[in-house]
Structure 1
Amino acid sequence: MKKIYMHYDMDAFFASVEQRENPELRGIPIAVGHGIVTTASYEARKFGVKSAMPVAAAKKLCPHLKLVPVRKNYYGKVGREIQQLILKITDKCEFASIDEGYIEITEFVKNRDEKYIERFVEGFRKHIYKNIRLTCSVGIGFSKVSAKIASDINKPNSYFIFRNREHFLSYIMDKNLSIIPGIGKKTRELLGLFNIRTVSELYKIEKKELVKKFGSNRGEYLYNVIRGQQFSEIDNNRKRQSYAHEVTFNQSMNDIFALEEELREQSEKLSYRLKEYGEFGKTVTLKIRYANFLTYTRAKTLKNPTNKTEEILNAAMENFRNLKKKDEVRLIGIQVSSITKSNIVQLTFNDMEKHD
């Protein structure tokens, strides 16, 4: 039996939580962040305010923008409440982050009638709103990729259903490649060198050419995903090899203090994710990309694995301060890798001799 997948995505999650908590923020343009916009409400997005935009630039677009401090621990709490609601429905779910995830709903819509699927989707969205008082957008597809694309089509607070593979292909064919999950900016830039910018243009390229240019795994993914042939199962027990967070700025960032504040926010977010799963990381890698598209990474391996904000931040800041160039930044991010379930490091023979 072919499977049916649903992708849910909470609408402007951080901003919506703040508007839920404070009636004075409802219906007005707000941005959650400090120095850099983390999330903008839909009222603010109408003015062009976007995530990863410097607050100063956002206020030029929207002078009456209300800035709200970030409360990531609280957002994490709300996110876990949403996840617990879903787990009461089914364990066939995979949480991509605190505000989005995938659910296999095949067992709930066995007759595959579209009206029946619509009733399930509406019931799910009402269930979330009734218990959490937040709206979400939902996508239905024959794969996780198609479901994720569908959830973006009628945002916010609605849904879209891909009836089948043919429906999916007809929708994506004339779109820019940015619509496809897993085809990031760097890949699009490389494809752009060959004048490939839309799905239809990529569709014309043979698999062997893509494998030659991008390698076996990446090339096959590019070939399969735009043909609706990329499938992966719901994985609710996958072991993470790393955690990462990065932002791409809409314009070159030259404010070193704003960059340092962004690194602090990323360290807090990574610390939260590690603690949520009871994990620790030993290697902290800084990633930075400049306006000329040159990208650099700097890694630091800690003596002991950690999930503490300050220890992640200190390692990232050490990497950052060692950079010669700290202006004209277009992207900055942190990755924590070498993930373990314990922060206890086994002593070597030499270590034990030192403690005798």
Structure 2
Amino acid sequence: MHDQATILHADLDSFYASVEQRDDPALRGRPVLVGMGVVLAASYEAKAFGVRTPMGVAQARHLCPQAIVVPARMSAFTTASKAVFAVFKDTTPIVEGISIDEAFLEVGGLLRIRGTPTEIARRLRAEVRERVGLPITVGVARTKFLAKVASAVGKPDGLLVVPPGQELAFLHPLPVERLWGVGPVTSGKLRERRINTVGHVARLGEATLVSLLGAHAGRHLHALAHNRDPRRVRVGVRRGSIGSQCALGRRERPFEEVEATLAALVDRVTRRMRSGHRAGRTVTLRFRFGDFTRATRSRSMWTATMQTATILRTARELLAENRAMIAERGLTLIGVAVSNLDGDGNVQLELPFEALHDEDKLDDALDAVRDRFGSSAVKRAASLGHDLSPSVPILSD
């Protein structure tokens, strides 16, 4: 752990909704929902009525009838994100991006040239507002975990510094849900036993938490409750997985349409894999259902690959195995990710070589056309008619 609070967690406020309000003055100060079938992001004016992500737009409009619903504009969000990250990199060379709208920054070596971490954070917020026109909250602490908690507590449009020596006094009164990894299931287990705050968790022994939650989760939460997080801010970290997802809305869709959407997602993911020279072994499907529950299904292949056809075949098998569950519960979002990535893009060939070579040639040909004429210049027949423009992350700030 640092002796000083030098880690910044910078997190844009209701990013997608803030971009819409920035670009359309008529939306400013009004409740805005981004997403047509499912709420991908909500402005703070909408959140005041109880709107949360992910939530069906119909339910959100019931809670907030005056809400204005706008479609997701991924190109605008990507442009805004790049502009914000340019401010991050002008602030410090040590930037670890977490998602499209948040990053960790290490500013410990900048005291003589940029000032204290608090001064740097204050200036960072002003520059993002001035150069990009968006509100951002910054948390400052000695650990990455606590800096992220501080930014969450400091929202919206705030700056919260946790001074060294006062970390546990700040952390322990917070609800258990502030601990990383505490979702609805874990929260339910803890609250059933009247373990309601981080301080309650901290007072339990590690062995008790392990017996209650399992070895990994128990040790993990015990460490966080005592603010033990040795991770440093790292630059140039390669992704552990490459994925994409698509919000489907709440209308019932034929299974064939879900298959076509999956094919388009796999096409997108494998193109990114080939662009980054990353082959992968494990295919994971993510589902979100009409009752807002979620499920994941994974399968590992014998060898790493970046071939569209091979990965799509595995993804389709997983989808088919869960067809009954999808029909029963209604699918509102599907995502696919490939993990266990090989950093050098090395692929172990299998027999028959000729068939694999033909698939590689098809992938190469499609990639070349898209590189020259744009990503929408050609589509695989399996995904025709299925626009993936809603394929954006669900934001919950």
Tell me the TM-score range normalised by the shorter chain: 0.7 to 0.9
Q: Deviations over 1:254-296 (max 9, x none)?
A: 75449989x969x869958984983565643224477999975
Q: How many residues align?
A: 345
State the alpha-carbon separation in 2 of the partners of residues 283 and 335 from structure 1.
10
Q: Which runs of 5+ in 1 are unaligned?
A: none
State the alpha-carbon separation in 2 of the partners of residues 156 and 307 from structure 1.
42
Q: Deviations over 1:166-190 (max 9, x none)?
A: x222223232211122323333234
Report the AA paired with residue 180 of structure 1: L
Contact 1:288–1:295 under 8 Å retained in 2:
yes
Q: Call closer, same or farther: CA 1:169–1:330 in 2, change over 3 Å.
A: farther
2:201: which partner in 1? 202
- Aligned: 1:336 with 2:337: yes
Contact 1:305–1:340 under 8 Å retained in 2:
no
2:91: which partner in 1? 89
CA RMSD of aligned residues (A): 4.3
TM-superposed deviation, 1:162: 0.5
Superposed, 1:179-194 pairs within 5 Å as 179-192=178-191, 194=193
2:153: which partner in 1? 153
Q: Call closer, same or farther: CA 1:345–1:224 in 2, change over 3 Å.
A: closer
Q: Deviations over 1:17-52 (max 9, x none)?
A: 112222222222111102000001122112222221
Larger strand fraction of residues? 1
Contact 1:93–1:103 under 8 Å retained in 2:
yes
Contact 2:107–2:117 under 8 Å retained in 1:
no
Contact 1:242–1:335 under 8 Å retained in 2:
no
Contact 1:139–1:149 under 8 Å retained in 2:
yes
State the alpha-carbon separation in 2 of the partners of residues 28 and 65 from structure 1.
7
Q: Secondary structure at the match of 2:349?
A: coil
1:42: which partner in 2? 44
Residue from 55, 58, 61 that aligns with 1:59: 61
Q: Deviations over 1:223-253 (max 9, x none)?
A: 11111122211122333222467899xxxx9
Report the AA paired with residue 181 of structure 1: W
Q: Call closer, same or farther: CA 1:64–1:289 in 2, change over 3 Å.
A: closer
TM-superposed deviation, 1:344: 8.2
Q: Secondary structure at the match of 1:139?
A: strand
Highest RCO, 1 vs 2 (Cα 8 Å, sep ≥ 6): 2
Q: Call closer, same or farther: CA 1:345–1:227 in 2, change over 3 Å.
A: closer
Residue from 25, 28, 37 that aligns with 1:26: 28
TM-superposed deviation, 1:330: 9.8
State the alpha-carbon separation in 2 of the partners of residues 171 and 247 from structure 1.
38
Q: Call closer, same or farther: CA 1:43–1:192 in 2, change over 3 Å.
A: closer
1:163: which partner in 2? 163
Q: Call closer, same or farther: CA 1:39–1:312 in 2, change over 3 Å.
A: farther
TM-superposed deviation, 1:341: 5.8
State the alpha-carbon separation in 1 of the partners of residues 266 and 74 from structure 2.
7
TM-score when scaled to structure 1? 0.79
- Aligned: 1:120 with 2:149: no
Report the AA paired with residue 124 of structure 2: F
Q: Secondary structure at the match of 1:96?
A: strand
Contact 2:108–2:117 under 8 Å retained in 1:
no
TM-superposed deviation, 1:122: 1.5
Residue from 104, 109, 116 that aligns with 2:106: 104
Q: Call closer, same or farther: CA 1:138–1:353 in 2, change over 3 Å.
A: closer
State the alpha-carbon separation in 2 of the partners of residues 26 and 110 from structure 1.
39
Contact 1:281–1:307 under 8 Å retained in 2:
no
Contact 1:287–1:296 under 8 Å retained in 2:
yes
